Structure 1
Amino acid sequence: MARDEVLQADVLVVGAGPVGLTLAMDLAGRGVKVAIAEIRRYAEPPNVKCNHVAARTMERFRRLGVAQKVRAAGLPPDHSNDVVFRTSVCGTELTRIPIPGRAERYTSREGPDTWWPTPEPPHRINQLFLEPILLEHAAALPGIQLLNRTQVTSFVQDAEGVEAVALDLDTGEERQIHARYLVGCDGGSSSVRKSIGAKLEGTPVIQRVQSTYIRAPGLLERIPGKPAWSYYSVNPRRCGTVFAIDGHTTWLVHNHLNVDEPEFDSIDRDWSIRQILGVDDRFEYEVISKEDWVGRRLVATRFRDRRVFIAGDAAHLWVPYAGYGMNAGIADALHLSWLLGARLQGWGEEALLAAYEAERQPITEQVSQFAMDHAQKMMKARRAVPANIEADDADGARARAEVGEEAYALNVQQFCCAGLNFGYYYEGSPIIAADGEAPPPYSMGDFTPSTVPGCRAPHFWLNDGRSLYDAFGPGYTLLRLKAEADIAPLVEAARQRRVPLQVVELAGEPAPEAYRHALLLCREDQHVAWRGDAAPADALVLIDRLRGAAG
């Protein structure tokens, strides 16, 4: 294509991080033509940020065909994913949260997160390893055009689409991009968010973290006991967190600054790292990069302006407890993808797109509050570390036992966060048919499986060995749990409106007790849209609501 020709796309995605790449992959699977503008060079390594892919994200990676590629990367197969609390990384162990490594992830039944009802448990992997897998997969898909070293500098929109101006950062040349829709996945300083007049509101600073990516070949052999994925250092001098990145020599060290340490350089970095690791001045390590960050609780005032949307860090920023920064962004992307896909395929009405902000904004508000509450409790715990926690006497032993017990109770919910994965629900949505029953409450760590419209359809394994979700179709899926229930009205209504509808027969299948109705209509994102013991009197009215045509 000549540089002066207008590039045509159905959707222009700004930003090729995990959120933007997942959005593009999912859209491409729906036959949508996608252009991705990214300021970095192709395969340029990302920052060392996210360390955790949540179960809900892995479920969708399964559907996109990348779950096994992702699970095969990261820490070595036999490397424990445990979270351990110590007086220092090389010090005395206080408590341990057991989490299986990837070699045992599907088979282990020991530990606080192995009971989860899902075909894809979570996976601990740093973004350094995750993003290249998503990039390679996306680049190979037909319908996706990657525009590296390209910055979207401006755009205008009208009733027909979005006209964007993109700058080639290497040549200085500009090009025009025309798209039906534009999605900003361009991070916390999002230019797309600013362009649509959205503002981040909430708590701008909860805590500052002096973070350092290091290479320390001699550290692993110094750590006593079974290795772990994450180490919490708890002593009166410095409290911090250390993540194993490659399982051998590279580590990410988070030094949690205190309230009286307002600047990243207000505390000696090398001294802090050594106090957290529990090593003296003779220990050698190399600083690969400084990854300092500010913990916040900010949610955008709007997620959309007509044909322009924002997702991920562009829409919300919070302290990454429970690992739900990137994962919440990917949930945004996949939610938006099926809405845009429905619209671009012609069966969804324009009003369907209003469900994105109506559903996702309240969820991000909920998750950010969970994260903020946990952050405040962790800050309080760090301020209360006993002065004698390292003492080699009975009082020191008692102090270590008490701190260990409190640390386990507080943190098992964030590292084994079933509630955040499976408990959240969409309430008051314009495209969900509520039936008067309230969704069950959930916490960070716990939830109650439910088929209340808006909740995630509870997972179970079919008699033929498939996951229930493997049987879901690309639009809506009608689950029939009683063979005598008449589904003809719903099937016909969907046919008339050209709504993709997959029928799954579940009579005789081992469905959980939560499945109390004969029929359930589920969305592709696994959330229940409607349920009943018989088809509604006017099935067309229901189908029209689900495709954004009600009223």
Structure 2
Amino acid sequence: MSTHADVPADTDVLIVGAGPTGLALGIDLARRGVDALVVERADRLFPGSRGKGIQPRTMEVFDDLGVLDAIRAAGGSYPVGMIWQDGRRVGEHQMFDPAEVTEDSHTEPWMVPQWRTQEILFARLTELGGRVAFGRELVGIAQDEDGVTARFAAGESVRARYVVAADGGRSAVRRALGIGMTGETVDPNPTLVADVRITGLDRANWHIFPPHGEGQDFLAICPLAGTEDFQVAARFPEGSSVDVSADGVRKAVAARSHLAPEDVTEVRWASDFRPRAALADRFRDGRVFLAGDAAHIHSPAGGQGLNTSVQDAYNLGWKLGAVLRDGADAALLDTYEEERRPIAADMLGLSTSVHRGQVRRGEATRQLGLGYRESSLTRETRPAPGPVRAGDRAPDGNLGGVRLFDAFRGPHWTLIAVGAPAPELPEAVRVVGGQEQASYGKGLLLVRPDGYVGWAGEAADGLSAYLARVGL
């Protein structure tokens, strides 16, 4: 992760920000043969655990991007909450509603500290030949009808056909473009978050210490799966100044629990924040796209921010590839904002409701039910669709002896033919056929590279026109 890597004079796609969004997009573009460069203002990857919850839908995305085994090995399931009072355990607290039994491979959130997720994504990107240039602070951006020129503090500049702002909630790209954000303060109380080493607490529970004194607020200490660390979260009264020093973290833990300051043996990272919910007024300005926290800022409650962000990248990656490599009309890129902004708005509302205790962490937070039925890129022509219709996420299952998620894995499109003959198709479309599949009903269903059904029909009428629109 050298800060001295050279930056090229030009590239197809410049990705600003090496967080989960930028790295996931870099992976998707690299496997499509798109020349992309990721630049990061900091000298290294983000060091904290902040976005630690990976939802089932994102696990499916990581499967497709080739990092699922590493993510599974690096993390673990969420522990049961344990409530403490006066140094005693007084009861368990279920953090999540149980998932329904389905054919889906992933049904519960998986815990991996954000710093570890980013290391895994970075390793996969470099394995595919992708590049990350650290220590590059963007100071200017200008675009014309042919491309975008980005300037950095060190005097370098890069010319790109498209730019993606994945540079976080304080996005320099978004500010340079003058794109506003509309939102609200979810909670005026500042919160301390820190990664620590602690003695005297077991790792089998997420330890919760309710307020117990004048001016006190909650403390939660969660063992971070796959590490020896715990994540501390401590809320403070509105208007408080939060001390993020090692002594400050120790004092907060000792004041709200039975632990002594010296039980916190190491403070590895600490930050304070005030939960907000905000949505960018638009996700695109010409040849520049906003993704991740640059486009939407969530409360961490419910674990929606990182997941929504990775799925922004997953939606945009195949569309950039289609335009830059497959000859699709650039109008295809208009569907990015059309599809992702309503999803982001819904997830912001969900995060805020979970934060305020109005909604449990359950089916909606797993993000398996999200889809694009109203998108202009969706075509359902069957008079009697099955349970899965165009615009829906394509679920796992078995058809003709083939596991569907195995068939979907990779940057291609997939045609599911259930009780209907498949027409001749371009090489970029894989065909899976059989006589019966309960979820999909009868007919032909074309699954997009991001795992959603784009087109469906009883026969192939209209399929060729749809394929031409997406560059196939």
TM-score bracket relative to the smaller structure: 0.7 to 0.9
Aligned residues of 1:85 and 1:234 also touching (Cα < 8 A): no
Residue deviations 1:471-518, cap 9 Å, x none? 026342110011xx2432xx45xx4xxx8322111325xx33x32232
The reply to whether residue 150 of structure 1 matches residue 127 of structure 2 is no
Query: Alignment partner of 1:150: what SS?
Result: coil
* Code of the aligned partner of 1:30: R
- Separation of aligned partners in 2, 1:146 and 1:3: 8
Number of residue pairs matched by the alignment:
461
The reply to whether residue 250 of structure 1 matches residue 237 of structure 2 is no
Q: Which has the higher strand share?
A: 2
The Cα shift of 1:35 comes to: 0.8
* Counterpart position of 2:152: 166
Residue deviations 1:310-344, cap 9 Å, x none? 11000000112221111110000111001101101
Closer/same/farther in 2, CA of residues 57 and 4 from structure 1, 3 Å limit: closer
The reply to whether residue 306 of structure 1 matches residue 286 of structure 2 is yes
Aligned residues of 1:11 and 1:33 also touching (Cα < 8 A): yes
* Counterpart position of 1:487: 422
* Counterpart position of 1:429: 375
- Separation of aligned partners in 1, 2:429 and 2:6: 42
Aligned residues of 1:113 and 1:418 also touching (Cα < 8 A): no
Residue deviations 1:444-486, cap 9 Å, x none? xxxxx9412211122224575x64122026342110011xx24
Aligned residues of 1:450 and 1:456 also touching (Cα < 8 A): no
Residue deviations 1:85-116, cap 9 Å, x none? 403595324224388xxxxxxxxxxx923735
Closer/same/farther in 2, CA of residues 358 and 438 from structure 1, 3 Å limit: farther
The reply to whether residue 451 of structure 1 matches residue 388 of structure 2 is yes
- Separation of aligned partners in 1, 2:349 and 2:25: 25
Aligned residues of 1:209 and 1:257 also touching (Cα < 8 A): yes
Query: Alignment partner of 1:541: what SS?
Result: helix
> Which is higher, the Rg of structure 1 or of structure 2?
1
Closer/same/farther in 2, CA of residues 167 and 199 from structure 1, 3 Å limit: same
- Of 157-166 and 120-129, more deviation after overlay is shown by 120-129
Query: Alignment partner of 1:309: what SS?
Result: strand
Residue deviations 1:29-84, cap 9 Å, x none? 00001111112224x55233111122222212112211111211146xxxx63231
The reply to whether residue 81 of structure 1 matches residue 78 of structure 2 is yes
* Counterpart position of 2:407: 471
Q: Using CA pairs under 8 Å that are at least 6 residues apart, name the structure with larger relative contact order, 1 or 2.
A: 2
* Code of the aligned partner of 1:501: V
* Percent pairwise identity: 29
Residue deviations 1:140-169, cap 9 Å, x none? 322x2221111222121122211222233x
- Given the two structures, how large is their TM-score scaled by the length of structure 1? 0.76
* Counterpart position of 1:62: 63
- Separation of aligned partners in 1, 2:7 and 2:29: 24
- Given the two structures, how large is their TM-score scaled by the length of structure 2? 0.87
Query: Alignment partner of 1:519: what SS?
Result: strand
The Cα shift of 1:288 comes to: 3.6
Aligned residues of 2:83 and 2:92 also touching (Cα < 8 A): yes
- Separation of aligned partners in 2, 1:458 and 1:52: 21
Q: Which runs of 5+ in 1 are unaligned?
A: 100-110, 169-173, 379-409, 440-448
* Counterpart position of 2:89: 92
Aligned residues of 2:151 and 2:157 also touching (Cα < 8 A): yes
CA RMSD, Structure 1 to Structure 2 (Å): 3.2
The one of 285, 293, 297 aligned to 2:277 = 297
5 Å matches for 1:96-495? 96-97=93-94, 112-113=98-99, 115-120=101-106, 122-142=109-129, 144-168=130-154, 174-220=155-201, 223=202, 227-228=204-205, 230-237=206-213, 238-245=217-224, 249-258=228-237, 261-265=238-242, 270=250, 272-280=252-260, 283=263, 285-377=265-357, 411=360, 414=361, 416-417=362-363, 420-434=366-380, 450-461=387-398, 464=401, 467-472=403-408, 474-482=411-419, 485-488=420-423, 491=424, 495=426
The Cα shift of 1:524 comes to: 1.3
- Separation of aligned partners in 2, 1:86 and 1:504: 50
